[in-house]
Homo-oligomer: A and B are copies of this chain.
Amino acid sequence: MSMAELSSKEFLSQLASKAPIPGGGGAAALGGAVGMALSNMVGNLTTGKKKYQDVEEEVLELLKKGDVVIRELLALIDADAEVFKPLAKAYSLPKGTPEEAQTKAETIEACCKTACSVPMQIMRKACEGIAIHKRMGEIGTVMAVSDVGCGVVFLKAALISAQLNVIINLNSIKDEDYLAATRNEMDILMEQGTVEADDTLEIVMEKLTK
């Protein structure tokens, strides 16, 4: 059963417990999906309105893209839990002999790379979601523009949370090439996502306060 099938109350109770999953990665994915749903609400309030018929087609495109991001983020809650299991197992491997110690170190490194791949993917999806929100803030119904603002701050939170999960995994990785490539992509996503999210919030605030 997917964790997205749990009631919010039950998910939160598992999240708050000391059980290792779900953890910060799963929370980032769910919180991002909550944000993404808000841009789609605004899109659904925009389509079919005469006032917005000029942007109808583009809004429908944004809605389709938003649906995909929501589905992907929900799947990443489960993916984050999946990659944790082999990592926990790797940490309990024996390291009595030099061979065992080497196998253990190599297994942990491989598992950390896999564990890293999920929050990296959450960061990519958060950036996609932020870009969708920016455009929705520009062309969607002004009546619900505050919801674009709510959505985008949750996607920015998902981006930052996922980054923290990448960093904690990178701390256990020694492969210099992998570290450099991952840090490089992480920095680009953070820069792009943060700037676009803040721009979106500015658009929202301007429309809300005029």
Contacts and interface: CB of A to CB of B under 8 A. Distances in A.
Interface of A: 2-9, 11-13, 15-18, 23-24, 27-28, 30-31, 33-38, 40-41, 44-45, 66-67, 70, 74, 144, 146-147, 149-151, 153-154, 156-157, 160-161, 164-165, 167-168, 171, 201, 204, 208-209
B38 A208 contact: no
Given A3-B8, A4-B8, A23-B144, 9 more contacts: A8-B30, A9-B74, A12-B34, A17-B44, A27-B34, A30-B34, A31-B154, A150-B165, A153-B156
Task: Provide the main secondary structure of the chain A interface.
Answer: helix
Contact of A38 (B15, B45, B153, B154): B15
A37 B18 contact: no
B150 A161 contact: yes
22 contacts: A5-B7, A5-B8, A7-B7, A8-B33, A12-B34, A13-B37, A15-B38, A18-B44, A23-B144, A24-B38, A24-B147, A27-B37, A27-B151, A31-B31, A31-B35, A31-B154, A35-B157, A146-B168, A149-B161, A154-B157, A156-B157, A164-B204
Count of this chain's copies in the oligomeric assembly: 2
A189 B29 CA distance: 27
Contact of A164 (B44, B150, B171): B150
Output the residue of A16, A70, A201 with the most chain B CB within 10 A: A16
B41 A18 contact: yes
Contacts of A28: 150
A164 B151 contact: no
